[in-house]
């Protein structure tokens, strides 16, 4: 898994790539929870280059989603790749997260 954080138009964009499995999901969870702790107004997770995600990676996204709701942070999953979409479908979470087709559309809100 590769993870980069960047600021775009007042939003924090977390770009993930590669495989988000049990060996990497703690890193993802820690990064997302720090952003939530800092009460960032907008957090966009770019999932376009994620080839694989498992339940532990999804759990990190769910935990961030729950914090964001409390903090009134806008938390968006952008450009969700097919493998991620499939897992979210199986977990019946595809209707729970706010999702955008691209990072740009996510930033526009």
Partner 1 sequence: MIRGADQTAAASHLDLMIEMTGDFAQSQDVEATLRLGLARVAERLGAEAASLFLLEADSGDLVCHASIGPTEVIGLRLAPGRGIVWRTVDLDSPQLVKDARFDPDFANSVDNATGFVTRSILCAPMSFRGQKLGAIELFNKAGGGAFTQADAQLLRALAMSSALALINTRLAAGMAEQEGFRRELALASEIQRAMLPPPQPPGYPVHGLNLPARGVSGDFYEIVPLADGRIAFAIGDVSGKGINASLLMTKTASLFRCLAKREDGPGRVLAAIDSELQETGLAGMFVTMVAGILDPATGRVVLANAGHEPPLVRGQDGYRPIEDGMPPLGIDPELFAHGCLESVIELDGGALYLFTDGLTEVRTRSGAMLGADGAKGLLDAFAAMPAEERLQAVVGALDGVGSLRDDVTLMVVEDMRPGGRSAFVRRYDARPETLSDIRSDLSRTARELGCDADLVGDVVLAVDEACQNVIRHAYKGGEGDIVLHVEREDDLLVIRLMDFAPPVEVANIKPRSLDEIRPGGLGTHLMRSIMDQVDFLPPPAGIGNLLQMVKRIRP
Could you list the residues that contact partner 1 (CB under 8 A)? 19, 21-23, 52, 54-56, 58-60, 62-63, 65-66, 83, 86-87, 90-93, 96
d(CA 89, CA 105): 22
d(CA 33, CA 88): 20
Return the number of the residue (8 or 23) whose C-beta is nearest partner 1.
23
Return the number of the residue (48 or 55) whose C-beta is nearest partner 1.
55
The least distance separating partner 1 from the CB of residue 49, rounded to whole angstroms, comes to 16
d(CA 73, CA 69): 6
Return the number of the residue (90 or 104) whose C-beta is nearest partner 1.
90
Using an 8 Å Cβ cutoff, are 99 and 77 in contact?
Answer: yes
The least distance separating partner 1 from the CB of residue 65, rounded to whole angstroms, comes to 8
d(CA 64, CA 73): 10
């Amino acid at each position: 898994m590769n993870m980069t954080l960047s600021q775009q138009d007042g939003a924090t964009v977390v770009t993930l790539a590669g495989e988000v499995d049990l060996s990497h999901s703690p890193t993802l969870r820690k990064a997302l929870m720090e952003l939530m702790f800092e009460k960032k107004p907008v957090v966009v997770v770019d999932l376009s280059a994620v080839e694989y995600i498992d339940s532990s990676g999804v759990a990190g996204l769910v935990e961030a989603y729950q914090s964001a709701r409390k903090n009134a942070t806008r938390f968006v999953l952008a450009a969700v790749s097919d493998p991620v979409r499939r897992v979210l479908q199986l977990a019946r979470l595809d209707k729970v997260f706010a999702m955008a087709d691209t990072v740009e559309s996510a930033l526009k809100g």
